[in-house]
Structure 1
């Protein structure tokens, strides 16, 4: 049976407890804290999101398992090489403001399922903004001593209907 962590709040990796270095390695300062309160899983999700939003394929490459696969909000299945190609530096576009939250973490030995959400705000043609939410299921896998992203599936959450 797996360990489960449920949190309805954003998890921030604080410098005194966790690290993320320039090579994409992340984790608690003391290895005994791995999985405490579900936070190291959020560190991987944050590093993964940062590499994507900044179009850093080398950083992203260091975070993905060799067999990584994702399902986009449009239902498209993208394998590792396609994902790395999509985030090539020459294809960079500005990312909208985003925030991440981890709602549930289940660990099964060397595999973890992380359910979270990404909220982002985009401008509207009328000069306003609209907030969108995407629910994300991440599959993380421990290979050796590192946790890597094995899969992600993005599901768009329908916008709330305006009051009539």
Structure 2
């Protein structure tokens, strides 16, 4: 009887641990979605709330951009009519304590189209500030189509 109780307790602990992990992973992936929305909407106020003060981005062109540079780029005056649909795939989330690392593939498409315009690999580093995850680093690497 004691062994069966121990097995039940262990199963409950494992279940709780897995659900807590999934909850944090979901929270982190949701932050990425918020970042994508702020970028495609050219919303510097939302970006300011998402990015840590020490935020650094390596752009798809290899440029080193600080938070003020990113906020300047995403001003409404720079917004274009093109609003891409961004699909995430190959999402990998790792975290320890108050730090997280996310890698994923972004595929950019136009609305109502299944044809990919281009894709990038993205790396994000986040830290928990108070009870909120903030981006401290982003790097975007374009995926070049292989010639056949």
Name the TM-score class by shorter chain. 0.7 to 0.9
Distance 1:143 1:102, change over 3 A: farther
Q: CA deviation at 1:34?
A: 6.5
The structure whose residues are more often helix, as a share, is 2
2:93 corresponds in structure 1 to 105
Contact 1:35–1:41 under 8 Å retained in 2: no
Give the unaligned 5+ runs of structure 2.
1-18
Please give the secondary structure, in 2, of the residue aligned with 1:75. coil
1:86 paired residue number: 73
Once the two structures are TM-superposed, the CA of residue 159 in structure 1 deviates from its matched residue by 1.0
TM-score (norm 1): 0.70
Return structure 1 stretches of 4+ with deviation > 6 angstroms: none
Structure 1 CA distance for aligned equivalents of residues 24 and 49 of structure 2: 24
How many pairs does the alignment contain? Answer: 125
Instruction: Determine the structure 1 residue equivalent to 2:136.
Output: 150
Higher relative contact order, chain-length normalized (CA < 8 Å, sep 6+)? 1
TM-score, structure 2 normalization: 0.77
| Alpha-carbon distance in 1 for matches of 2:104, 2:52 | 20
Encode CA deviations 1:38-78: one digit per residue, 9 max, x unaligned. Answer: 21111000000100000010011110101101001111000
The Cα offsets for residues 119-144 of structure 1, whole Å up to 9 and x where unpaired, read as 0136xxxxxx6531100000011011
Of Structure 1 and Structure 2, the greater strand share is in 1
Larger radius of gyration: 2
Give me the CA root mean square deviation.
Answer: 1.9
